[in-house]
């Protein structure tokens, strides 16, 4: 095993250990203050309005396979989906999830079912709410557009792996005067979404979505673990610069 592999394992175990510690009840009960983000404040209001007015939320989970290098973005989207399913399970028009991967579509159905079960409304669960819109990037967009135009959607949540073709979805949402909150792990999609969506999230803000929606203690613990890693990285950079200046490195 080379040095790079060893360092990778150390980082994985360090992250897991930090998340476990921060998720402990005696630690997680302490006051947590997250950076205010207007996008999530608007999202909470949009969830309440959709339930009151009988409108629908559309969650688009992207086209990433769960076992691919970009699968982390899909997991963030599923965490958000479960929380929204719990919040809007009693709506006249329950949320609908679309995805561009078969495995992800099955997981979205299972996540919706878990949300309804936690809300004690399992009889209202409909597996058709978790849909495979299309297995290729353009067919995924083509299969999602009918949801945008024809299912009384008030808010679109685009969280996952997309390409620049996602602009077609945000343009359709704009035509329907629907709120769009979007985040992606793709740089090309981030550039497009920054220009076309109403509430874009940039970079690692994608992985903060479940925590801001209070999807569970582990999601909030992951944010605190990220903060610790940032501090360690900053300390390493400063320490390396000092050692270089004094001639040790």
pLDDT of residue 104: 92
pLDDT at 156 over 70: yes
pLDDT of residue 28: 61
Residue pLDDT, tens place only, 173-227: 999 888 899 989 899 999 999 999 888 888 878 888 877 777 667 777 877 888 8
Closest CA to 227 of 247, 246, 211: 211
Q: What is the pTM of this model?
A: 0.81
pLDDT of residue 22: 78
Q: What does the alpha-carbon distance between residue 131 and residue 188 come to, in Å, rounded to a whole number?
A: 25
pLDDT of residue 117: 87
Binning pLDDT at 50, 70 and 90, where does residue 10 land?
confident
pLDDT of residue 30: 64
Binning pLDDT at 50, 70 and 90, where does residue 27 land?
low
pLDDT at 168 over 90: yes
Is beta strand 130-132 parallel, antiparallel or unpaired with respect to 56-62?
unpaired
Q: What does the alpha-carbon distance between residue 145 and residue 133 come to, in Å, rounded to a whole number?
A: 9
Residue pLDDT, tens place only, 83-111: 888 877 777 788 899 999 999 999 999 99
Residue pLDDT, tens place only, 46-88: 887 777 787 889 999 998 888 888 888 888 888 888 888 887 7
Cα radius of gyration rounded to whole Å, the chain: 20
Mean pLDDT of 224-235: 85
pLDDT of residue 26: 67
pLDDT at 158 over 90: yes
pLDDT of residue 36: 74
Q: Which CATH architecture has domain 36-232?
A: 3-Layer(aba) Sandwich (3.40)
Closest CA to 212 of 40, 60, 57, 78: 40
pLDDT at 32 over 80: no
Compute the mean pLDDT over every residue in the chain, rounded to the nearest whole number: 84
Q: What does the alpha-carbon distance between residue 48 and residue 183 come to, in Å, rounded to a whole number?
A: 21
Binning pLDDT at 50, 70 and 90, where does residue 29 land?
low
C-alpha torsion angle, residues 209, 213, 216, 219 (rounded to 10): 20
């Amino acid at each position: 095993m080379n040095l790079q592999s060893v360092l990778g394992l150390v980082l994985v175990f360090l992250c897991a250990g930090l998340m476990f510690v921060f998720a402990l009840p005696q630690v997680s009960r302490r006051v947590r203050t997250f950076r205010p983000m207007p996008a999530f404040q608007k999202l909470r209001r949009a969830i309440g309005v959709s339930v009151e007015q009988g409108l629908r939320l559309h969650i688009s989970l992207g086209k990433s396979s769960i076992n691919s290098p970009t699968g982390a973005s899909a997991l963030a989207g599923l965490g958000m989906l479960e929380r929204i399913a719990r919040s809007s399970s009693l709506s006249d028009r329950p949320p609908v999830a679309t995805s561009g991967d078969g495995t992800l579509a099955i997981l979205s159905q299972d996540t919706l079912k878990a949300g309804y079960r936690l809300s004690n409304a399992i009889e209202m669960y409909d597996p058709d709410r978790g849909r495979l819109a299309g297995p290729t990037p353009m067919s995924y967009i083509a299969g999602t557009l009918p949801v945008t135009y024809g299912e009384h959607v008030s808010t679109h949540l685009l969280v996952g792996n997309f390409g620049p073709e996602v602009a077609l979805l945000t343009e359709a949402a704009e035509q329907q005067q629907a709120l769009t909150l979007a985040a992606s792990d793709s740089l090309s999609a981030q550039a497009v979404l920054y220009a076309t969506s109403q509430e874009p999230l940039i970079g690692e803000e994608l992985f903060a979505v479940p925590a801001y929606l209070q999807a569970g203690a582990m999601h909030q613990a992951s944010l605190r673990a990220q903060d610790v890693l940032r501090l360690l990285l900053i300390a390493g950079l400063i320490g390396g610069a000092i050692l270089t200046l004094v001639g040790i490195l």
